[in-house]
Structure 1
Amino acid sequence: MERQYYLPHSPIEFHFRQSPRDFVVDEIPLYPFSGEGEHLVLHVRKKNLSTWQMVDIFSNHLGIKGRDIGYAGLKDKNAQTKQYISIPKKFEAALENFEHEGIKILDRVYHNNKIRIGHLKGNRFFIRLKKVTPVAATKITQALRIIKRQGMPNYFGFQRFGIGGENYKKGQAILEGTLKERNKKLSQFYVNAYQSFLFNDWLSRRIEISKMVEGFGIDELLSVLPLPKEEILTMKAQKHPFKLIHGDVMMHYPYGKLFNYEEESEVERFEKKDISFTGLLSGKRATKAVGLAGEIENNYDTITTGIDGARRYGWIFPEECEGEYKENEAWYELHFTLPKGCYATVLIEEIAKREIQSDEEQDT
């Protein structure tokens, strides 16, 4: 379904294109590195390279396999990004003559363990929007204030779905047995894209329901929503723009245990950012929503074999959100921090209330 945006304003026009000058990412490690051990952690800055491309460059230079190089997360290609990677300490000497126009080693430190996927706290972003009018700048500032106060939907970004956004169809075909992909890494990528597609569709539907609850009267809602009157009244009483439904799978924020929404006190905890709700990444052995929330979630739970499922925050709370309008240049510059696995482009799209991938396509 078409993505639903929760902010109340009309779409905002501006120009955004990912580039090393206008899109900067700084990875925040999960923990301090120990300063000793059998692994060398490199703090690297890369430009116009994906993380996988950077790993290939280091593995070819060092003469080791890519799997021997550790990294915590994948970073955008069309950007300037800083992240941490680890290599076995015994290959340190081979780095002395390392040079690459797209990679700079900023610092190095020893550590006991190899860096693993997910071993990061989050990412700090700098993004520059262009062709911003004073009126648009005012609307952007207001939107940023709302996101800072209330948070935002945690959609998967367009990068997840490839050029044209069709990768999820390949993932669906692989799971249905109508397509074979020999490259295991690509096959996993396509299947994950299908999981992400289902998650985004579910989240969009829930935001659509929440907006209906905000905007319609009780009698209207009873005619369009397959929910009991008692549930609709409970949702109507919630102050947050996203309305929880009994049976939702909640999780302590920014990490913690899963549990189901049962008590009304949990609504207040969500509003205080102590907990958030989660959505399903469809697959085997995943925790499922129950009750009324489960009835909605079941419509997007179509993967029963071939991959494990999981839960993902459906709503996140960006931190350190700051914005500055530079009227002479018609630029609006944003700084904000997101938890791991979240997409800065989703925040920009929520502010714009439109897809921004089209801005990329206009420049290619």
Structure 2
Amino acid sequence: MTDYLTLLNSQHSAYDKPTLSGVLRSCPEDFFVDEILGFEPEGEGEHVFLYIEKTAANTQFVAEQLAAFAKVAIKNVSFSGMKDRWAVTRQWFSVHLPGKTSPDFTALKHDEITVLKQSRHPRKLRRGVHKANYFRLRLRQLEGDSSYLADRVASIATLGVPNYFGEQRFGHGGRNLNSAQRWFAGAFKPRRNQQGIFLSAARSLLFNQILSARVAQGNWADYIPGDIMMLAGTHSVFKPELNEVEDIALRLQQADVHSTGPMFGKASAMATSEQAGALEQSVFEQHPDLCAGLLTQGLASERRALRVIPAQLSHQLVDDVLELSFELPSGCFATAVMAELVAYSTMERDYSQDVADNKAVSKNVDNNNN
């Protein structure tokens, strides 16, 4: 069986190795996430939109409590993104109540759940529709030299970081990847609610390995021949013409576009070629079992930006506590930023349990988990 944990721990960093170490997630309040929806509910319609704060609870658990309170089936409750369990997070949910009076959801009493707002909207909340997430993170028990920190924060605010999928995607010790490998080999058949988790982990591993290779080559934030580009702030992709390469280099500097990597699946009409295509193919060939298994599930190939530039990035260092705040587009992981700043560890936890508790993860979750 492939040693996925070693692969995950050997991903290349874009900046010099941090000399500062610290502990993340000492308590849920040290990892705060606020979902930025990007639009306001219209105030009328069949769906009740709820803005909720949860503490040390996973998203699916909250959805179940809302369904029970409203006396509807769980399928009538929707949300845009999965949020971390060991954290304090604010996110939106919708409950489908056609022709029914809205109950006062603020009367829902639960130690881990607080309903902050409610309003009506004509359409349900769909996966991945939120615009961004705001993070406020605290690292404690800091040790080491912090003299580089201010310059590193300034560089990241301008140049960004590799857009790696975080450890939550892969489960504790890479467990979700091991499960995907066993599933594809016919060793077991996962429950339906587990399949999306394992498919997503496999695709994310392939993406991270390709990104890591480009980080090692020093071209993760640049254009290389055969690249497919993505317009910043969208999922719109295009392949530059030869006469556009100079313009692409300038647009990359201006963060107007990003080079992309593959979310593996069935071949699409737009595919990488030349240097970019050869690099991606070399990684695919190292993981034939994952690629074959993904193809049997009929997933379509997609693209993901290789870099992410955090907005409004700031830091505050007081004694042995570092506080970071920043905003990331939906689908991007705060730990990708953190890893370039501090050699962090987390309180020993089994991240896969957060995912295992979720009973309604769809197959298409690659960009919708945050």
TM over 0.5: yes
- Which of 26, 31, 34 is 1:26 aligned to? 34
After TM superposition, the structure 1 stretch with the greater mean CA deviation from structure 2, 83-92 or 191-200, is 83-92
After TM superposition, list the pairs within 5 Å mapping 1:265-344 onto structure 2: 265-286=247-268, 287-301=270-284, 302=291, 303-306=294-297, 307-327=299-319, 330-344=320-334
Q: Give the match for residue 50 of structure 1.
A: 58
Q: Give the match for residue 249 of structure 1.
A: 228
Q: Which amino acid aligns with 2:314?
A: E
- Which of 216, 232, 238 is 1:259 aligned to? 238
Quote how far apart the aligned CAs of 1:10 are: 4.1
Q: Percent identity, please.
A: 29
Question: Distance in 2 between the 1:29 and 1:8 partners?
Answer: 35
Quote how far apart the aligned CAs of 1:18 are: 5.4
Change (3 A) 1:363 1:311: closer
1:55–1:69 Cα contact (<8 Å) kept: yes
Q: Which amino acid aligns with 1:345?
A: T
* Structure possessing the higher relative contact order (Cα contacts under 8 Å, 6 or more residues apart): 2
Q: Give the match for residue 107 of structure 1.
A: 117
1:323–1:335 Cα contact (<8 Å) kept: yes
Question: Distance in 2 between the 1:72 and 1:317 partners?
Answer: 22
After TM superposition, list the pairs within 5 Å mapping 1:147-162 onto structure 2: 147-162=156-171
- Which of 90, 93, 100 is 2:103 aligned to? 93
Quote how far apart the aligned CAs of 1:53 are: 1.3
Larger radius of gyration: 1
Give the unaligned 5+ runs of structure 1: 211-234, 236-240
Change (3 A) 1:96 1:253: closer
The CA deviation string for residues 175-216 of structure 1, in whole angstroms up to 9 with x for no partner, is 3433311x2120111111011111111110111111xxxxxx
1:170–1:191 Cα contact (<8 Å) kept: no
Give the unaligned 5+ runs of structure 2: 1-6, 285-290, 352-370
Question: Distance in 1 between the 2:216 and 2:350 partners?
Answer: 32
Question: Distance in 1 between the 2:89 and 2:163 partners?
Answer: 21
Change (3 A) 1:298 1:100: same
Question: Distance in 2 between the 1:96 and 1:326 partners?
Answer: 37
TM-score (normalizing by structure 1): 0.84
1:7–1:350 Cα contact (<8 Å) kept: yes
After TM superposition, the structure 1 stretch with the greater mean CA deviation from structure 2, 250-259 or 93-102, is 93-102
Number of aligned positions between the proteins: 328
Change (3 A) 1:73 1:143: same
Question: Distance in 2 between the 1:190 and 1:105 partners?
Answer: 32
After TM superposition, the structure 1 stretch with the greater mean CA deviation from structure 2, 197-206 or 281-290, is 281-290
Q: Which amino acid aligns with 2:306?
A: G
